[in-house]
Amino acid sequence: MKSKGNLWRVSTTVSQVAQPLPEDKSVDLVVIGGGFTGNSAALEAARRGASVAVLEARTVGHGGSGRNVGLVNAGLWIPPQEVIGIMGNAAGHKLMAALAEGPSRVWRIIEDAGIDCEATRNGTLHLAHSAAGVRNLQERHRQGAAMGWPVECLDAKETARRTGSLAFYGSLFDPRAGTIQPLSYARGLAAAAHEAGARLHDQTKVTRIRQLGDKWIIEANGFTVRARALLLATNAYFDGIEMGFRPEFVAVSYFQFATAPMPARLRESILPGGEGCWDTAVVMSSFRIDEAGRMIVGAVGDLDGPGRPIHAAWARRALSRVYPQLADLPFEHDWCGRIAMTADHIPKIVALGPNAYASFGYSGRGISPGTVFGTQAAIALLEADESVLPVAPVRTHRERLVRAKEVYYESGAVLTHALRPALF
């Protein structure tokens, strides 16, 4: 069966509100990138009465925001004590507190703006794929409980009841979290920002950024935007701008396959609570269902590269092993996107100059962190108060051996999917 491509683009019900930049503009804040971070910043700034222009090279949600798994998680990929060990006690606790509140902020925006994005606030399950995975989750639970988080360790029996599968050894349940249709959320943020007064411009490729006095001068589509403040929010989809700066990160690909909708009799027993799931394996995998009952299987790997047949075969084996009753259900959609990883897995804010930031490096946790970082960046830029940022801005950020690491991640995913049993 020929793939129908990215499921989120087919199933979204939220219309585009952007159009190409038609003329020169002068605004309080210019945002480059129309994803979770950029649109959250635009929404916050517009609600505060600022004039805002969002410039998106392709379409709103074209990048990782429209290719996301759709898990609204609290915290980061690494456990809290590791974050604190890297950042220090005060800075680590500040970031963890901001991200612990991240899902609530996402749910509040969705409700306040009336965004139709299949929001399912039923929690997530971090699944143990082995006995070692159980120990990993027990330690994460200990650390999370010490932070005051309402997480709960579930045994294999309860995990089987919630997932409808006997493949897992246990799980860690986070009731704060949930799932959304990510492209609809990105577009919904844009629509809410537009309604608040922001102007969003897609098919508007920024070619040059420079500083002139107290203004930032942005050149795009043959026009010029002058702004008092600037936010670069392209994350893993930065494709080159003449500005003397390039965000440094390791680009890691993540793919997804979506089945045809499950028959009603099976849907009742497979993830009946609608939790989103991911596992403890080194080469991480995920699965969830959408509103129509499609099972969506994801993992690290690039479908646009030579490893595509191996990743596709793994997805079929994985689905068959975890849910044998779905073994013959065809995959109708497949797509992949890029994640911006940093060496320490901590998101970065780089100060580009007066009243200018670049925010990137969510390491696979784009929805909640992107919303939090975008919102707080807008406040910091408008009020000239960097203390409201989740992390302290730095002047520079460097990543070593970027290309070698990118090859390593993809090669590891290909080898794992080719040689190991299909495990989530």
pLDDT along the chain (424 residues), means of 10: 92 96 98 98 98 98 97 93 97 97 98 98 97 97 96 98 97 98 98 98 98 97 98 97 96 98 95 97 94 98 97 96 96 98 97 97 95 98 98 97 96 92 51
Query: Domain range for residue 368?
Result: 1-120+181-247+344-393
Nearest alpha-carbon partner for 310 in 163, 413, 160, 196: 413
> Do 307 and 413 touch, CB atoms closer than 8 A?
yes
pLDDT of residue 422: 52
pLDDT of residue 2: 85
> Do 223 and 23 touch, CB atoms closer than 8 A?
yes
Q: Is residue 270 part of a domain?
A: no
* Residue in the structure block whose two tokens are 């026009």: 223
Q: What's the angle, vertex CA 297, arms to CA 335 and CA 328, rounded to 5?
A: 105
pLDDT of residue 424: 43
Q: Is residue 269 part of a domain?
A: no
Q: Is residue 387 part of a domain?
A: yes
Count CA within 13 A, CB hemisphere, residue 31: 36
Q: Is residue 98 part of a domain?
A: yes
Q: Is residue 290 part of a domain?
A: no
Domain at 35, CATH number: 3.50.50.60
Separation CA 154–CA 330 (nearest Å): 31
Q: Is residue 152 part of a domain?
A: no
Domains held by the chain: number = 1
Q: Is residue 139 part of a domain?
A: no
Q: Is residue 176 part of a domain?
A: no
